[in-house]
Each structure stands twice: as structure tokens, then as C-alpha cells.
Amino acid sequence: MNSFKLWIAIATLVLASSTGDVLLSAAMKRIGDLDEIRATKGLLAVIGRVIRERLFLLGLASLIFSFFCLLTALSWGDASLVAPASASLTFICSAILAKFFLHENVDRRRWISAALVCVGVLLLVK
């Protein structure tokens, strides 16, 4: 039962952080190249433009929620299981969400790379 609870927390955490990343990406695509805005209007204009974007705020809220899920999961299970499991699953989940919601061209090169990074992150705790 306890491990079931833990995996639910990890799944929620992974979903929340991938959703946050996808929302941030969508928000930034809508705003346009930050380097150009900074070069023409300055850093303050960049910050103002970013925090007025609703998708960015949604993404940030999602990331904060995922952080609290992480804290909850850490209080229920080992850090050596929770941290790498959630980090590596997030890479795969984000790739799937980016393909379907951002319509990114996730070709074989990117799938292999996501898998390599996922396994690599898992190995980091050994």
C-alpha cells in the first residue's frame, strides 16, 4: 500500500513537471526570441513581458506543484529511489507531451537521446 502511494506521488510529480516544461516552452514560443527583446528593449522589458504571459504563470505554478509533490514523495520514500526515478521519467514524459501538444518533430535521434539520458540519470545513483 505504501509503495503504491509512493508511485502515485512520483507519477503526479512527473506529470506536473513535464506539464510545467511544456507550458513554459509554449509560453516562450509565443513571446519570441528573448535575446532579441533584451537587445532592443533591455532586461526589464524581458522580465515584464515574461511575467505577463499567462501560459508562463501556469507553467510556473505547475513546476511549484511538482516541487511540493517531490517533497511529499521524499518524505514517503528513499531519496535514492525518488529523485532519479522522477528525473528520468520526466525526460520520457516531456518528450511524449512535446510531440503531442507542441507538435515537435521528435525523430529517432531525439528518442534515442531521451532514452540514453533517462538510463544515464538512473545510473547516477548506483
Residues that bind another protein (CB under 8 A): 21-22, 24-25, 28-29, 31-35, 50, 91, 94-95, 98-99, 102-107, 109-110, 112-117, 119-126
Cβ atoms of 23 and 101 within 8 Å: the answer is no
Q: Which residue has the cell 526515478?
A: 85
Q: For another protein, give the closer residue by CB, 3 or 48.
A: 48
Residue 53 neighbours by CB under 8 Å, 6+ apart: 27, 30, 31
- Closest separation between CB of residue 66 and another protein, Å? 14
Residue in 99, 119, 123, 102 with CA at minimum distance from that of residue 110: 99
**Residue 125, SS3 per DSSP:** coil
Q: For another protein, give the closer residue by CB, 11 or 113.
A: 113
Q: For another protein, give the closer residue by CB, 8 or 124.
A: 124
- Closest separation between CB of residue 8 and another protein, Å? 24
For the chain, where are the alpha helices, taking DSSP H only? 2-31, 34-41, 43-51, 54-76, 79-101, 108-123
- Closest separation between CB of residue 114 and another protein, Å? 7
- Closest separation between CB of residue 18 and another protein, Å? 9
Q: For another protein, give the closer residue by CB, 5 or 100.
A: 100
